[in-house]
A and B are shown apart, each in its own frame.
Chain A
Amino acid sequence: MIIGIDMGGTNIDGVLIHDGKLQKSFKHPVDRNDYFQSIWHCLQELLRDTDKDAIERIHLSTTISTNAIVEDQISQVGVVLQTGPGLKWDFERLGHHLAFVSGSVDHRGFVVKSEDPQELNGLRKTFLTSPIEAIAVISKFSTRNPEFEQKVRDLFLHDYEEITMGHTLSGKLNFPRRVQTAYLNAAVSSTFRTFADNMQKALKEENIEAPVFILKADGGTIDLSGATVKPVETILSGPAASFMGMSALLPEIQEDRCLLDIGGTTTDLFFLVDGVPVFEPLGIEIDGRKTLVRAIYSTSVGLGGDSHVRFEEGKLKIGPRRMGSAIGFGGEDLTPTDALVYLGAMQAKYPEKSREALEKLATKQGLDPAELAEGIVKEFCYRIKEVMENTLEMLNASPVYTIKELLSDRAIKPSSVGIIGGPAQALAPHLEETLGMSVEYPDTYEVANAIGAALARPTIEINLLADTDRKILSIPELQIYEEIDRSYDLERAKREALQEVSRAAEAMGLVDASKTEIVEASSYNMVRSFYGADKNIRVKAQIKPGLLTKLTDVKTSEV
């Protein structure tokens, strides 16, 4: 049995899944003053009359880290930056304990200028007299050579419990993002650790031995101890839960597809290429900070079932604000939901109120009420289409770096759309007409996010670089830095990348580590002398997001 819990902004959803069947579900408002208690309460409800020993794993999509950042409930971080020469970012919003220290590393990983031990010792003294709770250390090109970050970690090893080294969080190159990511990781470490400790204590008291996994923004999971070290990985997992939920509830396809999660206030859009989600190119943005946290690409538009419908200067407008519930559900302002109720496509608590409100507006605008209702739905669908097309145009313009990619012109062209949410069924035929592609929707949607969290499996991405001139192989994400000889080649690099990915995935609790794949692999001849060429080898490997098991008892409908 698997337990999946998704803590959103308003509600907490939970499911219990056994043998691919949804056994139990639970939905309750979140207690914003006590997130842990909200989760614990949900867990207890799911476990009622259930054999605790039969629980294999507990999956959580939490807003613990996200809320800590957004609500500014974060630790004071001593940030050590070795920027070296280059672009001068102002590095705002890194707290009050920011230190720039000397030394630099170049793009190959060669030390250009060593750090100054005296300077670092002086810095330690200053930090120790400041109200600092955690340390983040980041140097430019630290993924290529982490020695400086390691030295600073060693310096503070006995002083602070939470020390984040930039290179451990991503192998991608982007110093300003690495700085923000490491800062946030250090800043939420203590909050997340408290949560994890409470969780484990509570589970122990209840004699539950099932391991706990946390959902990441890339649609994968990380085990609780891993998440305690890299809590920044757990931010903004909500859209990923929704994406994974839809993946579990809709039939699997290997084509390009767009997924829509239509909520009350917003609609989230996701895209798949050959069945694989499109990711943020570098990482997700949180609270105006750009990070290197891997995430499924999603875009949100202020257009939902409860969006405010009105006329402005003679033109029909929908959203982006939500004033309250639909009139048919006791609200005060007209919404697309009311239009669907009027058209008989949706049930409501007070259908006559929806009807009255629509007729009133129609009279005011000199329109036929049915015409107005259809107009609202049409406008809603048209706006979705517009956002979808604009997003695709942007995604399809992503830079490529090889002739093969440029000429293959692999544009994302969705052939179908999957939708989920309250108005999904009612909207499906209209969307199909507007978009001109087939639209599918699952019959269940209320606890889709919890299902997504429950069925997500571990994911990992690694960036291997082998430099036979420097004779070093690096995989920053796994903190692997090994010596290699000049005969090291692309084939060995690919093999090693796959091995390390599966090893890491097994360590993270993935049972079937056969889902590894090479994403990119290239080898560059480095000609430095007349004695033949060295090689600069780069391999990116991953386990992409996927489902632990398929749900077997769900139904989907096509229009």
Chain B
Amino acid sequence: MRAKNSLGLILFPAFDWAISPTHPEREERLLYTQDQLMEEGIEDIEGIHFFNPLVAATKDINRVHFCYPNAESLVTESHLIAAGGVMRAFDAVLGGETDKSFALVRPPGHHAQRVVYGDRGFCIINIEAVGLEYARQKYRDMRVAIVDTDCHHGDGTEDIYWNDPDTLFISFHQDGRTLYPGTGPVEDLGGPGAYGYNVNIPLPPNTGDEGFQYVLEHTVMPILEEFKPDLIINSAGQDNHYTDPLTNMNFSAQGYAALNSRMNPDIAVLEGGYSIQGALPYVNTGIVLAMAGLDYSGVIEPDYNLGKWKQSNRVTEQVERVANDVYQLWKNKKTLAERLFAGKTSVRRNRHVYYDTAGIMESQVQEFRVCSSCPGVNWIQSKNDRGASLLGVSIPRKACPSCLDEGYRLFEDAKQKNIKKRFLQDLSNDSFLAE
């Protein structure tokens, strides 16, 4: 059997690491996925190659995060390897080894935001963002679309790319009013430098295959076609599955595979998904086959029953309404941005972030400079309920000279502020300062 698209698999189940012995993010999580892939004989398909992860360095993390007090004290080897697995996935595709790649690594990362005090939603560092920014520095700057198909809102990735017009972030997820982390409404469209490039599609509980299919065809695909990305990344959370213990959706392995096949991502990265026995082996196998361009129609869960998981008419109506609303917002993003930011020199937003896994409450202010020549320098001032505080300045990759100077000035000025740590992230020069 030969894959139509050559595919690099970074299958790293980290069989010797768990958040705690009975935590969903434990050694067993990818055990049955590996069993299924091995038994199906994936290793013997021509064109499917296995790669070991790299180990991310501190610098790779500092490109994306302001870690308090520093990256070394927050991340474990497992996080460096999960991120390194994604870096390897980028190397495989951009280095020309394979057409596509899929990082089946753990722990996940899409809840990790720019500021990191600890673990949120089983994530400490945003593995997609670490991989993408590594690739942008190593290979070239690219227009990238990240489509987050995890059932939970990808609030970390949203935060990281909030103001980056070259990174389109689309997340469809179970409505935040019914599920962790609670965010992800359609109105959150991005910062002044990238307004409209943050696309949230909150879906009602019990959305089934046909609902996801509708969103894909009427919202995601048209937006992708208009955005024309150089690279599509699928943040592949497998917890929309009807067996997932933490969520309420009714997506199937066939649905996931069909979605992946239609979306045709260059790189997929495993995110959440904790139905480790009933969903992950099948969804992951389906995605592997879809990415390799092979027939996935035989991949069916043991307990799959088509009639049982059909969505109700009410759900269908809700899904269609949201999907259409989101697409209208995308179409009108320019007009909306002009109306919103006209005459403003900066935009502020206040946020409260809860670290559920670590039990930390953070409050922060983000300020974005409205700049006509670049996405604009921005900064975050943050403190948490454990007495930590920081100020982080971020200079975008394509910063104009004025924003670049402003960034360094802000970092300098932060000395006067009553904060414990200050950070500077200069993405235009790939250099980082922390004090």
Contact = CB atoms under 8 A, between A and B. Distances in A.
Given A87-B299, A89-B41, A403-B16, 12 more contacts: A87-B1, A87-B42, A88-B295, A107-B35, A173-B35, A174-B43, A174-B44, A177-B41, A406-B52, A522-B16, A524-B27, A527-B24
A173 B13 CA distance: 17
A101 B289 CA distance: 24
A172 B44 CA distance: 14
B285 interface: yes
Interface stretch (A57-65, A298-306, A394-402, A474-482): A394-402
B12 interface: yes
Interface string B274-306: 000100010001000100001101111010000
Contacts of B38: 172-174
Interface in A514-559: 522, 524-527, 533, 536
A86 B298 CA distance: 5
B311 interface: no
B39 to A, nearest CB: 4
9 contacts: A86-B39, A87-B298, A110-B302, A399-B11, A404-B16, A406-B53, A525-B22, A525-B26, A533-B21
Which 6 pairs of residues, A with B, have the shortest CB-CB distance? A176-B41, A112-B302, A524-B28, A173-B38, A173-B39, A87-B40
Contacts of B39: 86, 107, 140-141, 173-175
Interface string B8-49: 000111111110011010111001101110111111100000
Contact of A290 (B27, B32, B44): B44
Nearest to B303: A112
A117 B164 CA distance: 62
A400 B10 CA distance: 10
Contact of A282 (B14, B43, B51, B78): B43
Nearest to A526: B28
A87 B289 contact: yes
Contacts of A525: 18, 21-22, 26-28
A108 interface: yes
A86 B283 CA distance: 11
Given A174-B38, A174-B41, A524-B28, A407 B77 contact: yes
A174 B277 CA distance: 18
Contacts of A176: 41, 44
B203 interface: no
A174 B38 CA distance: 5
A81 to B, nearest CB: 13
User: Chain A: interface residue count, which band?
Assistant: 35 or more
B289 A107 contact: no
Contacts of A402: 14-16
Contacts of A89: 1, 41
A89 B42 CA distance: 10
B50 interface: yes
A45 interface: no
A85 interface: yes
A106 interface: yes
A104 interface: yes
Interface residues of B: mostly helix, strand, loop or mixed? loop
Contact of A87 (B35, B78, B285): B285
A88 B24 CA distance: 32
Nearest to A520: B15
A51 interface: no
B28 A536 contact: yes
Contacts of B52: 397, 399-400, 406
Contacts of B22: 525, 527, 533
B342 to A, nearest CB: 52
A160 B389 CA distance: 78
A108 B32 CA distance: 8
Contacts of B277: 107-108
A64 B20 CA distance: 54
B302 A106 contact: yes
A371 interface: no
A407 B76 CA distance: 13
B430 to A, nearest CB: 26
Nearest to A397: B52
Contact of A86 (B55, B78, B285): B285
B391 interface: no
A400 B41 CA distance: 17
A90 interface: yes
A129 to B, nearest CB: 31
Interface in A389-426: 397, 399-404, 406-407
Contacts of B249: none
A447 to B, nearest CB: 37
Contacts of A400: 52
A533 B18 CA distance: 14
Interface string A165-188: 000000011111100000000000
B129 interface: no
Nearest to B29: A524
A524 B43 CA distance: 24
A408 B294 CA distance: 35
B81 interface: yes
Contact of A527 (B16, B26, B31): B26
A403 B81 contact: yes
Contacts of A172: 38
B44 A403 contact: no
B261 to A, nearest CB: 15
Contact of B13 (A107, A397, A401, A527): A401
B101 to A, nearest CB: 14
Interface in B312-326: none
Contacts of A87: 1, 40-42, 285, 289, 294-295, 298-299
Given A174-B38, A175-B40, A176-B41, A401 B15 contact: yes
Interface string B137-166: 000000000000000000000000000000
Contacts of B44: 174, 176-177, 290
A175 to B, nearest CB: 5
Most buried by A among B21, B39, B55: B39
B34 A401 contact: yes
Contacts of A174: 38-39, 41, 43-44
Nearest to A111: B302
B12 A406 contact: yes
Contact of A403 (B1, B77, B295): B77
B21 to A, nearest CB: 5
B31 A524 contact: yes
Contacts of A522: 15-16, 27
A282 B38 CA distance: 10
Contacts of B28: 524-527, 536
B257 to A, nearest CB: 12
Nearest to B14: A403
A106 B279 CA distance: 12
Contacts of A526: 28
A404 B15 CA distance: 9
A85 B300 contact: yes
Contacts of B14: 401-403
Nearest to B45: A87
A397 B302 CA distance: 34
B40 A86 contact: yes
A407 B21 CA distance: 22
A195 B38 CA distance: 35
B27 A401 contact: no
A107 B34 CA distance: 10
Nearest to A113: B302
B159 to A, nearest CB: 28
A397 B50 CA distance: 9
A302 B299 CA distance: 42
A85 B40 CA distance: 10
Interface in A68-98: 85-90
Nearest to A140: B39
A175 B41 contact: yes
A82 to B, nearest CB: 13
Given A176-B44, A397-B51, A527-B26, A403 B78 contact: yes
Nearest to B304: A85
